[in-house]
């Protein structure tokens, strides 16, 4: 199946590793060009090296109001166009909602929520017809996850923002959607397993909750994300797609 990705250009934030990097790999494999970013210059440099000539990178923090504009300029100056973006930020800290301090909530809001909204707004302003924006959220957007109070509080709001933006930008031909990864074997999930004090037991419990009987691989998420960002998914917008092996119990 031809996804229509040849020579299209995408910006991916939080993409030096994990789900963002797996998506960049899938896009490049199908002929797209990518601008990868994260807060770590070393991480960005390593990601670009692994992706090859179809990639360039920028160290950028979405909490910085100037970062989204910088990423758009990098795409257009390096590759001559800008067709879409995947917005992913690092997961907020572990702990219940009630246990988080005001400062922890403010910091998470600035990075996870406001940084993502600002980026989407900036990207949408630079996209033409057939553009697309994807938010990488979490299954916590639908069902609270024990011990992830900040995520449980902020991700549902971002899912609502994505839906609202899909309505607003749809008449311009710009699609907006969300992806809800479940238990995928990323560094983030390994850190969450370790935080329990018994990572092997935590991983076994997580695996047992997945109908497919295993945890996901980043590449499995990346292929879904690449399809949703591609012209092959041109009639999909305003949706939230779980990539979780069937673990979500909502319809």
pTM above 0.75, yes or no: yes
pLDDT tens digit sequence for 189-244: 788 888 888 989 989 999 999 999 999 999 999 999 999 999 999 999 999 999 99
Q: What per-residue confidence (pLDDT) applies to 204?
A: 93
Q: CA 91, CA 195: separation in Å to the nearest integer?
A: 14
Two tokens at 160?
């609502």
State residue 165's pLDDT score: 98
What is d(CA 107, CA 115) in angstroms, rounded to the nearest whole number?
11
CA nearest 35: which of 74, 64, 84, 61?
Answer: 74
| 207 within 8 A of 176, measured Cβ to Cβ | no
pLDDT of residue 234: 98
Q: What is the pLDDT of residue 148?
A: 92
185 Cβ neighbours under 8 A, 6+ residues apart: 215, 216, 217, 218
Point out the residues of the chain with pLDDT beneath 50.
Answer: none
pLDDT value, residue 189 = 79
Query: Which pLDDT does position 68 carry in this prediction?
Result: 98
Residue 35 in contact with residue 59, Cβ under 8 Å?
no
**Token duo for residue 67:** 């970062």
CB atoms within 10 A of CB 57: 25
Phi, psi of 12, deg, nearest 5? -130, 120
At a CB cut-off of 8 Å and minimum separation 6, what does 60 contact? 13, 37, 38, 39, 67, 70, 71
Q: How far apart are CA 138 and CA 183, in angstroms?
A: 9
Q: What's residue 187's pLDDT?
A: 81
How far is the C-alpha of 36 from the C-alpha of 51, rounded, in Å?
A: 10
Pairing of the two strands 84-87 and 240-243: unpaired
Write out pLDDT tens, residues 118-134: 999 999 999 999 999 99
């Amino acid at each position: 199946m031809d996804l229509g990705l040849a020579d299209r250009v995408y910006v991916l934030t939080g993409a030096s590793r994990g789900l963002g990097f797996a998506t960049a790999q899938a896009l490049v494999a199908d002929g797209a060009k990518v601008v990868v970013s994260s807060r770590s210059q070393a991480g960005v440099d390593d990601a670009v090296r692994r992706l090859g000539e179809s990639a360039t990178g920028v160290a950028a923090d979405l909490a910085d109001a100037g970062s989204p504009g910088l990423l758009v300029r990098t795409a257009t100056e390096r590759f001559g166009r800008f067709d879409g973006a995947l917005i992913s930020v690092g997961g907020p800290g572990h702990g219940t909602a009630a246990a988080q301090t005001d400062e922890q909530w403010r910091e998470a809001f600035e990075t996870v929520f406001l940084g993502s909204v600002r980026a989407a707004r900036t990207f949408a302003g630079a996209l033409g017809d057939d553009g697309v924006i994807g938010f990488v959220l979490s299954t916590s957007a639908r069902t609270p996850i024990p011990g992830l109070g900040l995520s449980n509080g902020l991700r549902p709001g971002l899912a609502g923002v994505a839906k609202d933006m899909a309505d607003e930008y749809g008449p311009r031909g710009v699609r907006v959607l969300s992806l809800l990864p479940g238990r995928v074997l990323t560094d983030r999930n390994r850190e969450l397993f370790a935080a329990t004090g018994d990572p092997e037991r935590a991983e076994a419990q997580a695996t047992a909750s997945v109908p497919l009987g295993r945890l996901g691989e980043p590449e499995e998420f990346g292929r879904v994300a690449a399809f949703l960002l591609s012209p092959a998914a041109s009639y999909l917008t305003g949706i939230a797609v779980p990539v979780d092996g069937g673990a979500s119990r909502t319809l």
